[in-house]
Structure 1
Amino acid sequence: MEMKKIAVIVEEIGQNYQSAILNGISDGAAEFNFNIAAFSSLSGNIKNPRHELGELNIFDLPDFSRFDGAILLTNTLSSKHMAAELVERINKAGIPAVSIDKDLPSFYHIGIDNKTAMRCMTEHMINTHGYRNFAYISGPAYNSESSDRLAAFCTVLQEHGLNLAADAVYYGDFRSPSGKDAIEHFKEYLDEMPQAIICANDVMAASAITSLTGMGYMVPDDIAVTGFDNTYNRHNFQVELTSVERPLGLSGRLACKMLHNHFCGYPQERNIKLNMSVHFTESCGCRHNALSDIRELKEINCRNYANFENLQNYMTLLNRMSTQLEACNSFDDYISTMKKTAVEIHPEEFYFCLCDNWDSESPVYNPSASNNTEVTVPSTYTENVYVPIAYVNGEFAECSKIRSRDILPEAAFSGTKGRLYYVTPLHFGERCFGYMAVRSSKIKFQNIMFETLCINICNSLENLRKLMCLEYALKKMGDFYARDTFSGIYNRNGFVQATEELYKNCLEEKRNIMVMFIDLDGLKQINDTFGHATGDHAICEIADVLRNTCNRNEIYCRFGGDEFIVFGADYSESEAELLTKRINENIKKVNNSKKNPFELSASTGYFIDIPKQGEDIFYFVTEADKKMYNEKRQKKLSRRLRLSGQDIPKA
């Protein structure tokens, strides 16, 4: 069977639950020859709504019609609206999909019997340990697995005639801070602390134990605690955690197998319920199951030290990368530094993809706003993305632009062995920069350090964008100071700045300079006859003539009103005469085009000399102005004589 492309949707890959399933999906990708793009939001504990919007934007990126199948870790999606939209888009694409844990009617489903597992846990706490006073830390009320576990817990209490105080249930979000918040809630609102706290997952249970210990409670001597999912390595915590053990890795592999069976046309059930078992140990009071093998304890200590050392090395890399990226003053410097980082994190593949407008300061109008007047920042992926970094198997590959709907360059999906790519957003707040895609067997994606790496990259990218925008704004301000707003050529300020260094060199090296003064003839008559807008156009026509004529590195400007100046170094009389001739010829070309209602005309005069100490450039301007004035006076005299029929005297 040909290689299939599978999209995976998951939030918070830094959690053990997600990483265990993703490891299973990775195994399935290799086994069934799938290439997988895992679109991964790192949102969760930041508590910044704008940051959350930017993270969730990654789920707008996949065009599911470009994939052969999809896998959703539906319980990880914090936004019900986003989850519903993803399901609708996948159904519209007409591809097979698997939902892990939450049963969606149109999808294949892999889950467990949450009610039976929680019933077993709760009955053990009542019948084996004799607990009667309980509290419960739940996941979100809208989450189906969370509600099933809570319902089973409450049913068992009712069957045993046990009451549950109204404030004895705390609704969290399956994340670590919920455990701490729940303990503080119970401490404040319950008349007395419970004998046992049942938790809907291990992450909240571990946090609850830490908070209880900080308050002086002993677990399980004072308060027993249980978890669910068995995602925490029970030997890596202060007490071994009683939990429900479930085959999370198998869930990921089976999701791939169900898609494989679908592609091959093999018959299969839509719904798979996996076995689970409750692991009773230290935190519920079953001390006889606690770890006692000294050899295993030594192995745990060794493993923990190795993990700590890896974290230290990763933190050193992050600190070094952050400081280096913050020091970048240009996009080229930034990409060069990012390439060094790409090498240091040792990925098999690394792609850095930027939207066409990532560095834009231009406003975007919200199409959903009334009258289309609400200004926002770019928050969607552009049709094409630029790929300044494509690192493949130890080498940097050349890659210009790709379509964002293709996600990765062609080289990424060309392997014969199934691959899993993590696709994470690049953004600052809701401003969309692009995305990164990483394939690696060495990076610990479930490590908080990977999230820190992504945040540091995004923050430094925003700093660079602001620096580039600031430099652009300063350049524009400089242009306003140095450029004539009508014609776009230098104004008097810009002329002085542009000629300063060259004039100084000519003074020191005793080189000739030439200054030509040009005055537009008859501007008042043009304004009076055709209006000031036409007069402004006449000024711009002279500026265009200078653009087309001055091709020997001359510096020219609109000196003011209808006056223009040309400055040139190392000019001779013959060269100045030639420049005057060419200016007049180009003026004649404008007139011959018949595009203007007026006849364009200008008077010129130039002055050439070697500058002397005490003379500045305005000395030359004044002398050139005198020459120009003589020519203009000669023109006026000639015109009067022609009108009177007299002979025109030679100058």
Structure 2
Amino acid sequence: MDSKKIKNIVVVVSGLDEEYQYNIILGMNKFAEEHNINVSYFAAFVGMVGSKTFDIGERSIYNLVDYSRFDGALLMTNTFGSAEIRENIFSKVRSSGIPVIVFESHEYPEFYDIRIDNFSVMKDLVNHIIRHHGAKVINYISGPLANPEGKARYDAFLSAMEENGLTTEEKRIYYGDFKSYDGKLAIDDFVNSKLPLPDAFICANDSMALTAISSLEKLGYKIPDDVMVTGFDYTFNARNCSPAITSVKRPLYSAGYTAMNVLFNVIEGREQPRSTVLEATAVFTESCGCKNAETDDLISYKKTTYRKIEATNNNILMVNRLTAGLAETETASEFFDVINALISELECEKFQFCLTEDWQDAFNTGSLTTSHNGYSGYMTAPLIWDNGQRRSVGYYPSSNMFPEGFEERSCVNYFLPLHFGDRCLGYYIITNGDFPIYSLLCHTLTMVLSNSIENIRKLFHLNKAMDELNRLYVIDPLCNIYNRNGFINLADDMFRECVAKKQQIMLSFIDMDGLKFINDNYGHNEGDFAIQRLANIISSCCGKGSICARFGGDEFVIFSVNATDNDVTSLEHRFNLELENINNLITKPYVISASIGSILTLANENDTLYSIIKMADDKMYEIKKAKKAARKSEKI
């Protein structure tokens, strides 16, 4: 294997705005930078809005990955709550044959794994609460048991309870999803249960512990005087809140760096251990009643907090400006202009906006139920922003993932899904910019972009529908020429212009002969056929400066501006000749026939369009009467 060739590594992860993912990604990115590796993260924000339909759209990004185009994969499948999604990812990566590192799972011997010992350290924490603080009744706020880390921490809690001779009451367990809001829901569930207050709430992570403490304090409980609360992960917020939360400190940055190191060595052909276990440490502090073991020093805390607040405020302003700008767009071109104007504020090198080739279709925009991977076979990249330069790519195979192919340099790429509900619209790629992992508003940005492009799609179809309604208002659907409304709207303007310019106008009124005979003897389908053929003849006779219309059931008009006597003669001659030709061509058991009466007059202010039409109608009627009289005399 060519060690000088850029290595392309894919990382699959759920969520980017949690400290766990953030710190592991920092470690992986550091190793990638040091070893000239091109890393591509495929990420979604599943479970954020409480909608299963929405989550289907989010997860579409994982179907985009073509693992065979990468040299290796890092699977942070421990961040997924769904076992089905994990198995789908494992199945696809197996078939690619590339080396794989899995986080927090040793259940797949064909993969390498990087693990932090969740079970032992969680058991140490629970034993501390029981043995050191004398807790007897404990509530547990669990992560998803389908998640390997959630299961390991849950099993550790049960094991510690059993070892200490304590009973685990099922009604004192709340099964969450590692989301911050689960802490509040768990306390709401406890309040509704009417159970006595426990000695402690053991939480499977810090996010849930923080909201659990907030909810308990709103109920008037003091932590840890009334009840102890513990977490897991030892995040910045957990160790610097008041009270500081007893938690578990894990070597996350080291785990990310080590995982990338192991994968790189495997790709290079160097033998590596199949399993790497890193140790974690329990930190006992204020929320369980222990002395504060360690917190960030005040100056460091203030700087970090200020940077977070400043970045969040700037991001809010950017997203608000983007939202306001996109709200005023009515076309795809305007939409991309607004994005292009603001995208530099993401502080990235490259931004690629990619849509399914059929994103504007009425119903089939890469539906997950109709496409093999949630995306159309081809994508389009209408906006590529590259260090301030703008360009686009017409179409490219969705299996390429990158509109312009892999970069032959060390890059960090974040792929994020664009969708509306469960309907896949595309994705966008941020290259060499940390916005997806540091900003709390990355998911908000994604939803703004997705909702706005969906609005553009709907507006596109609304305009098409309006155009069609307008067309139906002025076009006769059977004959595909103007109807009475369309004729009057257009011809009236033409008539007024002729009056102003003192030009002659010609108006011909045409009435079909024998339509009732055709309908009664051969059916209305044949009657419609005859009307259509007559309309085609009339349309073909309508030259430059003329318009024609179906004025009624079997009545038609032709209106011509700046006409002469020759125009009248020429029109009627051609009309009668075309009638003869069509009858010779169709060989029907009936004859398509019509009477035409034409008026040539100088337009003046005393006339109206309707008065001219009436004059032509009267003349046509005289001709029709003469034709009937002639037929009667022939029979005699």
TM-score by length of 1: 0.88
Name the SS for the 2:607 alignment partner.
coil
Correspondence list, 1:61-80, <5 A: 61-80=64-83
**CA shift for structure 1 position 66:** 4.0
Aligned to 1:340: 341
Q: Is the 8 A contact 2:365 2:423 kept in 1?
A: no
1:415 aligns with 2:419: no
Q: Where do 1:170-209 residues align within 5 Å?
A: 170-189=174-193, 191-209=195-213
Partner AA of 2:97 in structure 1: G
Contact 2:350-2:431 within 8 A present in 1 as well: yes
Q: Distance in 2 between matches of 1:343 and 1:544?
A: 57
Structure 1 residue aligned with 2:486, among 491, 494, 513?
494
Give the conservation status (yes or no) of the 8 Å contact 2:413–2:431.
yes
Alpha-carbon spacing, 1:36–1:221, altered in 2? closer, same or farther (3 Å) = same
Query: What pairs up with 1:184-333 in 2 under 5 angstroms?
Result: 184-189=188-193, 191-291=195-295, 296-333=297-334
What is the DSSP-based 3-state SS (H/G/I as helix, E as strand, rest coil) of the residue aligned with 1:445? helix
Q: Residues 388 and 400 of structure 1 are in contact (CA less than 8 Å); yes or no, is this contact kept in structure 2? A: yes
Q: Deviations 1:462-505 (Å, cap 9, x if unpaired)?
A: 33333333333233233332221212221112211222333333
Moved more, 354-363 or 106-115: 354-363
Partner of 1:571: 563
Supply the AA of the counterpart residue of 1:61.
Answer: L
Partner of residue 404, structure 1? 398
Shift of the 19–579 alpha-carbon distance from structure 1 to 2, 3 Å rule, reads: farther
Deviates more, 1:75-84 or 1:20-29: 20-29
Equivalent-residue separation in structure 2 for 1:494 and 1:485 (angstroms)? 12
1:297 CA drift (Å): 0.8
Please state whether the residue corresponding to 1:287 is helix, strand or coil: coil
Residue pair 2:116, 2:279 contacting (<8 A) in 1 also: yes
Letter of the structure 1 residue corresponding to residue 23 of structure 2? A
- From 513, 524, 527, the counterpart of 1:532: 524
* 1:382 and 2:385 correspond: no
User: Structure 2 counterpart of 1:499, which letter?
Assistant: A
Match of 2:357 in 1: 356
CA 1:156–1:379 in structure 2 vs 1: closer, same or farther (change >3 Å)? closer
Of residues 486-495 and 278-287 in structure 1, the stretch that sits farther from structure 2 once superposed is 278-287
SS of aligned partner of 1:303 = helix
**Cα gap change, 1:268 to 1:551, in 2 (>3 Å):** farther
Question: Greater CA deviation, 387-396 or 165-174?
Answer: 165-174
Paired-residue identity, %? 35
Question: Within 1, Cα distance between the matches of 2:576 and 2:379?
Answer: 49
Supply the AA of the counterpart residue of 2:114. I
Output the CA distance in 1 between the equivalents of 2:630 and 2:33.
93
Cα distance between partner residues in 2 of 1:351 and 1:546: 53
Q: Could you tell me which runs of 5 or more consecutive residues in structure 1 were left unpaired when the two chains were aligned.
A: 369-375, 645-651
Q: Secondary structure at the match of 1:561?
A: coil
Deviation at 1:451, TM superposition (A): 1.2
For 2:437, what is the secondary structure of its paired residue? coil
> CA separation of 1:34/1:364 partners in 2, compared to 1, >3 Å: closer, same or farther?
closer
| SS at structure 2 position matched to 1:173 | coil
Shift of 1:206: 1.7
Alpha-carbon spacing, 1:499–1:249, altered in 2? closer, same or farther (3 Å): farther
Residues 327-384 of structure 1, C-alpha deviation per residue, up to 9 Å, x if partnerless? 223333223223223234333222222223333334799998xxxxxxx999942222
Please say if 1:432 is aligned against 2:424: yes
Seen in structure 2, the aligned counterparts of structure 1 residues 365 and 41 have a Cα distance that, compared at 3 Å, is closer
Question: Helix, strand or coil: the match of 1:167?
Answer: helix
- Does the 8 Å CA contact 2:356/2:365 hold for their aligned counterparts? no
Structure 2 vs 1, CA of residues 525 and 154 (structure 1 numbering), >3 Å: closer, same or farther? closer
* Counterpart Cα distance in 2 of 1:500 and 1:604: 21
1:421 alignment partner, SS class:
strand
Aligned residues: 632
Within a 5 Å distance, the mapping from 1:115-194 to structure 2 comes to 115-189=119-193, 191-194=195-198
Cα offset for 1:305?
A: 2.2
1:175 CA drift (Å): 0.7
User: Equivalent residue of 2:472, what SS?
Assistant: helix
**C-alpha displacement of 1:139:** 0.8
Superimposed CA distance per residue, residues 528-553 of structure 1 (whole angstroms, 9 cap, x where no aligned partner): 56443233222222333344443525
Q: Structure 2: how far apart are the matches of 1:54 and 1:175?
A: 19
CA 1:642–1:41 in structure 2 vs 1: closer, same or farther (change >3 Å)?
same
1:56-102 Cα distance to aligned partner (Å, 9 max, x none): 23223333344443322112222222222222222233333222113
Structure 2 residue matching 1:319: 3-state secondary structure: helix
Aligned to 1:392: 386
Aligned partners of 2:195, 2:515: CA distance in 1, in Å?
92
1:54 aligns with 2:57: yes
RMSD: 3.2
Q: Which residue of 1 aligns with 2:502?
A: 510
CA contact (8 A) 2:541 2:571 kept: yes
SS in 1 for 2:441: helix
Q: What SS class does the counterpart of residue 46 from structure 1 fall into?
A: coil
Task: Give unmatched runs, 5+ long, in structure 2.
Answer: none
> Are residues 210 and 398 of structure 1, via their aligned partners in 2, closer, same or farther at CA, if it must alter by over 3 Å?
same
- Label 1:634 to 1:266 Cα distance change in 2 as closer, same or farther (>3 A): farther
Does structure 1 conserve the Cα–Cα contact (< 8 Å) formed by 2:507 and 2:599? yes
| CA spacing shift, 1:259–1:604, aligned 2, 3 Å | farther
Shift of 1:35: 3.2
Shift of 1:168: 2.8
